[in-house]
Structures are given as structure tokens and as C-alpha cells.
Amino acid sequence: MRVAEPLRVVCYVNQFFAGIGGEEKADTGPGVREGPAGPGLLLERLLAGAGTVVATVYCGDNYMAGHPAEAVAAVVDRIAGFRPDVVVAGPAFNAGRYGPACARVCRAVQERLGVPALTAMAPQNPGVELEGRGLIVVPTGDSAAQMGKVMPKVAELAVKLGRRVPLGPPAVEGYLPRGVRRNEWAPEPGARRAVAMLLEKLAGRPYVSEVPLPRFDRVPPAPPVADVRRATIALVTEGGVVPRGNPDRLEAARASKWLKYPLAGLADLTPATHEVVHGGMDRAPGNADPDRILPLDAMRRLEAEGVVGRLYGYYYVTTGNNTDMAAAARYGREIAADLLAAEVTAVVLPST
Amino acid sequence: MQITNVTSVALGVGSNRILPARGIPYPCGDPGLSPAAEYQWRRRLLEAALVALATPVREPTVFPVA
């Protein structure tokens, strides 16, 4: 086996780690330093000849935040000039502008240059949730004081990525789970593994789930509606029910938006007026009768009988299929603000 | 309040007032019924939804449909 050539590594850092200055220099535009700077110095030592940091590309955190597309493009252009085998961005720890910037640079490097990239930041850094999907992110603590703890792992993964060695699962290799599932052979059949897990659980002993369930927030419940007969009820759905023709092009998955459509003059939804665009389920029942998802016919009846005060004149819709979690939370907040401004009392939310 | 077939997910994400639907693609329907019977089901479901909205809760709660 011939000895591998040292990998060409390019680092991306912000104005502080590039040695330019602190917050007062956060408006600095993209630039380059030859060789390593900041964390790159430690990285190069840890690479121990397996790689050389040929350049450090930097950009001010404010400049990145204020010119997201243009700044990333300029950074990637500079990175490209050095023909790297791998790009290392950060570590950003819990820095809220730097983290997303690192993630965006990594994604652009991979997509535009086909070069592997990795970054490192605290799991709660907004860069993970907002921009980190699918990227290799080494988890760190909150503080840059832990640089020494994190860089050995960054160096190790940089070498693997640079040499195009396929990475094992997150728990083994030390990066954040990306939601990627890979099939592998287990020594025991699934039924045996499941029963073994169940026996551990029943005995109160620790066990490791093969499919860890995500944890979610608790939400303080809203107080009950005082008098439904005087209430304005709005319908909100993620079932992708839209006016026929989908005039605003609501996506079948990974919805980028929510929409608000009028119900004035309508007492019933039919295939002539509406359609279902949700791509994560069988659309046939909803297309045959959209009231099965957005129950307009029954709500109109309850309104006419005075069981509810009134049905709000608009409904809200998005597609709840592989929706980005942060985006979904934002849609909820925005719809809630709209509902409050319209003085809606309560919401019925049929979901698919 | 939320009407969904996957009440376990709703409970897990902190949805506080939940009603069980009969299927994922038709939270307010039941295609196995005749159109008239399905409409009656939808109406009962919504009446139960209004009861849920008018009921105080302290945590995610699945309400029955009468």
C-alpha cells in the first residue's frame, strides 16, 4: 500500500478566529489567509502529516448573516481556488451567527464543489436545526474553551472524509445523528431483539432503543372556551387541501409555506372546488370528498344551528409531510398571530 | 384542538386537546360508511371537538367521541 499524499484541508472561520478582531469586525467581508489560523493551527498539529491546512477562508459573522447567499458564494469561490480534499468549518460552539454560517458553507462546498465538509458546534446551536440537515456536525460544548477537547475528533473525521472513507453510525464515529438510516445485518432476528428489549424494560433495566424517539416540548394548554355558542372557530389543517389547481403551488412535501384561503359562500368542499396535494398519504379519500379533511359541510351546519358562534371566513393550510421542524414551528406561530389579529376564539385542526 | 388518527404522536408533541380520527387520510371522515352515515360521524366528531375546546386540561388529553 503506498503512503497517501497529505490531504489538502481548507478551514472556514469567522473574523474572530481568523485573528482580525471581535464583534467590532463582524462586518468584515470574505477573505483568505494562506495556511492555518485560529483553530486551524491546532488542527494541522493534530493531523500529524495526514493533512495540511493550505488556507483559511474567513468572513465576518454579521456580513454572513446580512448577505447569506452572496457571502457563501464568495467564500466557496475562494475555497475552490485551493482545490481542497476536505473543508473544516468552525468549530462554532454556541455562537448563533457563526454556527449557521459554518453549516451553510459546508453545504455549499459539498453541493457546488463536490468536496466533503464537516463542522462542529453545540447541539443546540441554531445552525444545527436550521441549516444542519444531512451535514456532518461534531457536537461540542457551549464554550470555545473546549477547543482542545473537540479538535482531535474533528481532525480524525476530516481525515476520513478527505480520504473518502465511508463513515459508520453517529454514535460510533462521534458526530450528530443526521436522520440517515442504513440497513445492516444483525446477529439476531428482529423478533428476538424486540422481546429481549421488552424483557429489559419490564424488569426496569436499561435498554437501548434501535429507533430512539425524538423528544418534544410541552405546551401550556390554552384555557377552555367560555361559550362555544358565541365563539369564532377557525379551521387549520396540514392535510394539503387547496383550491383546485393548487394556484399557489403548495408543495406535496417539505412545505415552504402556509396559505390562507376564503370560505365565504362555500357550504361544502367538492372535487370541483378543492383538491388534496399532501404527498405522504393516499389522496383518494380526500380528493373524493375534501370535507373528510377540512370538515366545512358539518361546520356550516353547526354554525347555522347556533351550536358555534361562527366559522371564521378563512382556513389555513400547509402540507405536513416531512416538514422541516423549525419551519413547522414558525408556520404555527405565524398562523397563531394571524388568528389572534382576526380575533378567532379557537381552532379545530384536523391532521393527517 | 387536533383531530388525528395518530393520537400517540399528538400526545408526544404536546398537543393538548386531541380527538381520535378513524384514518390518516380522512381525519374527519370514514369512507367505509355510506355518505349519510359518514356525514353523521363527521358531525359527532365536531361536536366532540367543541366539547374538548370548552374543557379545561392540564396536559395532553385524548377526548372520547360520544
Task: Sort out which chain B residues have CB atoms less than 8 A from A351's CB and list them.
Answer: 2-4, 10, 27
Instruction: Confirm whether the ipTM is greater than 0.95.
Output: yes
Q: What is the mean pLDDT of chain B?
A: 94
Q: Record the cell numbers describing residue A313, joined without a space.
A: 371566513
Tell whether A309 is within 8 A of chain B (Cβ). no
What pLDDT does A180 receive?
A: 76
A228 touches chain B (CB under 8 A): yes
Cβ(A296)–Cβ(A269) under 8 Å?
A: yes
Q: Give the pLDDT band (50/70/90) at residue B12.
A: confident
Q: Element (H or E) spanning A158, and its range?
A: helix A147-162
How far is residue A284's CA from residue A294's CA, in Å, rounded to a whole number? 14
Dihedral angle computed from the Cα positions of residues A222, A224, A227 and A229, in that order, rounded to the nearest 10 degrees: 80
Contact between chains at B29 and A285 (C-beta distance less than 8 A): yes
Phi and psi, residue A52, nearest 5°: -125, 135
Cα(A15)–Cα(B20) distance, rounded to whole angstroms? 53
CA A100, CA B37: separation in Å to the nearest integer? 53
Instruction: Report whether B17 contacts B52 (CB < 8 A).
Output: yes
Is 60 exceeded by the pLDDT of residue A145?
A: yes
pLDDT (tens digit per residue) in A271-289: 999 999 998 888 999 999 9
Q: Where are the beta strands (DSSP E) in chain A?
A: 7-14, 31-34, 51-59, 86-89, 117-121, 136-139, 232-237, 241-243, 259-262, 274-276, 310-317, 346-350
Interface check B57 vs A, CB under 8 A: yes
pLDDT of residue A211: 80
- Residue B60: CB atoms within 10 A of its CB come to 19
Average pLDDT, chain A: 94
pLDDT over 60 at A2, yes or no: no
Quick check: helix, strand or coil at residue A61? helix
Which residue's entry shows cell 475552490?
Answer: A80
DSSP state of A292: G
Q: CB of A309 within 8 A of CB of B53?
A: no
Structure confidence by residue, pLDDT tens digits, A160-218: 999 999 999 998 999 999 877 778 899 999 999 999 999 999 999 999 888 876 666 68
Assess whether pLDDT exceeds 60 at residue A51.
yes
Q: Which of residues 248-307 of A touch B (CB under 8 A)?
A: 281-286, 288-289, 291-295, 297-299, 301-302, 307
**Interface contact B26-A302, CB threshold 8 A:** no
Cα separation, A153 vs A75, in Å, equals 24
Using one digit for the tens of pLDDT, what is the confidence trace for A326-350?
899 999 999 999 999 999 999 999 9
| Tens digit of each residue's pLDDT (9 = 90 or more) over A87-139 | 999 999 989 889 999 999 999 999 999 999 999 999 988 899 878 888 999 99
Select from B28, B34, B55, B57 the residue whose CB has the most chain A CBs within 10 Å, as the one to mutate to test that interface.
Answer: B28
